[in-house]
Amino acid sequence: MALHVLADPPDARDAADWRWQLRHAVTSPAALEAALPLTDEEREGARHAAAQGFPIAITPYYLSLIDPADPADPIRRQCVPRAEEAIEVRGDLRDPLGEEAHEVAPELVQRYPDRALLLVSDRCSVYCRFCTRSRMVGAGGGARSLERLEPALAHLAAHPEIREVIVSGGDPLVGATSRLEALLGRLAALPHLDTVRIATRVPVTLPMRVDDALCEALRAFPATWVMTHFNHPRELTEASSAALARLIDHGLPVMNQTVLLRGVNDDAPTLEALFRGLVKRRVRPYYLLQADPVRGTGHLRTPLATGERIMAQLQGRLSGIALPKLIVDTPGGHGKVPHGPSYVAARAPGRTTFRTFRGELVDYLDPPSVTREAGQSTAREV
């Protein structure tokens, strides 16, 4: 497959600078037309995106992963708008996870008793067309100042039941290292916080951003976990692999959340290659997420049965460390639920019959109940 080559290739030193990548990102319909031979559907999608305020941004690096001759290219489908974005289908929601309804302070969302989501920016290096927060990304303001985040930090300080903070946005790593370090330092001063998760797609779309200074800054909170977002094995390039290695070699655990997307990764061989590639790079596949019902994304979402089928195909073909949970984040902000195929073929008192990945039926017998009288143990069958 021939990768896209920019008409005017930059100096390698420029292309390796993450700020250069951001400055030269494709951000308009005209720039997109100049960068790729667009289909009519993509051309209309770019016009709609510009009119509706859901921005376009594709870094030169991520653009280089697209096969310009293939309109169905899986990288292209993730970042190039299509006319279908103007179509709303049954179940579409503006705010599918109910984040606005669960906002407990400005920029702070709490949907679970023990953790909260801190939105620290509305900027990303690449705007994914399936974005859960398409209602707000690129809306202006960029990275939030500590002053703006003070009410959220005060709420966290006043609620010791919150044990974990997910730092997201937008992408928290698209911005100054010093700003992120200052924020993590403030979180580290809260004694009840056990962990901080950084939700980022930078290793996928802007891997040159992951330098030693950033990795050191991420250690400002002692238990920082990095949650990244690879959706296709072709995103596991030499550059992204180096970014992952740098994070891990600095002692930062990295886990991955993949979104199940129609025409991108909705088949078992593609996901098997992705999950194997992640584990080879010391990254734990954590979630396979059913795509959220964001308005205008019906063309990218799959039926629930697709995920069930794929997980059944992967069970037994992949080791446990390579097999993520299939998760549905229930609409309206009611929380995540695990989902997947059932391996129980039959139940009877004290007996469960399982169907293995090979299709064999195997009985599992419950142990007998145990009663204790006068210091003696007597077993009887259930």
The catalytic residue positions are 111-112, 115, 124, 128, 131, 133, 292, 329, 336
Q: Which long-range contacts (CB under 8 A, 24 or more apart) does 135-138 make?
A: 135/94, 135/95, 137/54, 137/55, 137/169, 137/170, 138/53, 138/54, 138/55, 138/57
User: Which amino acid appears at position 204 of this protein?
Assistant: V
First to last CA, the chain: 61
Distance set, CA 105 to CA 195, 257, 291, 332 (Å): 20, 26, 27, 18
In the numeric block, the tokens 């920019």 are attached to: 6
Evaluated on CA atoms 241, 247, 249, 253, the torsion sign reads: negative
Give every CB contact of residue 237 below 8 A, 6+ residues apart in sequence: 65, 207
Query: Are the C-beta atoms of residues 346 and 299 closer than 8 Å to each other?
Result: no
Q: Which residue has the tokens 């951000």?
A: 27
